[in-house]
Amino acid sequence: MRWYYLLTDVDDRRRAEEALRKSEALLHEAQRLARTGSWSWDVLSGKVVSSPENARIYDFQPNEDSAAPEVYFQRIHPDHRERIREVFQTCVVEKTDYQADLPIVLLDRTVKYIHATGHPILNKSGDLIEFFGTTVDVTEQHEARAALADCV
């Protein structure tokens, strides 16, 4: 009787792990197709966790540490960096949603345009514990608008 329960528990766990892997793969593929990455910033540890698509948008290299928030700010175009830093800090202090359109500069000097959003996660005491957000690569839309403006 014990062997049967042990095998059943192991089999149930294996199925649950497989379902989780499949769900993660579908999420990653959906983010890739939508050119939308996700990220979260843990306030206590100060670490950022980034989805594979978010890492692709920012062009992080496999050996590059993308857990520090400063790495993301360093990718922001210098003309916009302080403005975006101030907007984000205000949202952190006020525990409000974050939204910004900005250019980023990749390591090869390519400029991309992104739309970033974030939402504060509070604990029961109302303390900010995490910021969760998305990054959308809107480079094609930005370039199309610029081309239309040139035609006018």
pLDDT at 20: 76
User: What's the mean pLDDT in 120-146?
Assistant: 95
* Structural domain boundaries in the chain: 1-34, 35-151
Confidence of residue 116 (pLDDT cuts 50, 70, 90): very high
d(CA 68, CA 88): 15
Closest CA relative to residue 110, chosen from 146, 59, 68, 67: 59
pLDDT in tens, 49-96: 999 999 999 999 888 889 999 999 999 999 999 999 999 999 999 999
DSSP letters, 96-109, are --EEEEEEEE-TTS
Closest CA relative to residue 116, chosen from 51, 54, 61: 54
pLDDT at 113: 97
Q: Which stretch of 8-12, 45-49, 56-60, 125-129 has the lowest confidence by average pLDDT?
A: 8-12
Return the higher-pLDDT residue of 29 and 10: 29
pLDDT at 22: 83
Dihedral sign (CA 77, 78, 84, 88): positive
Looking at CATH, the fold of the domain delimited by 35-151 is given as Beta-Lactamase (3.30.450)
Residue 142 sits at φ, ψ, to 5 deg, of: -60, -45
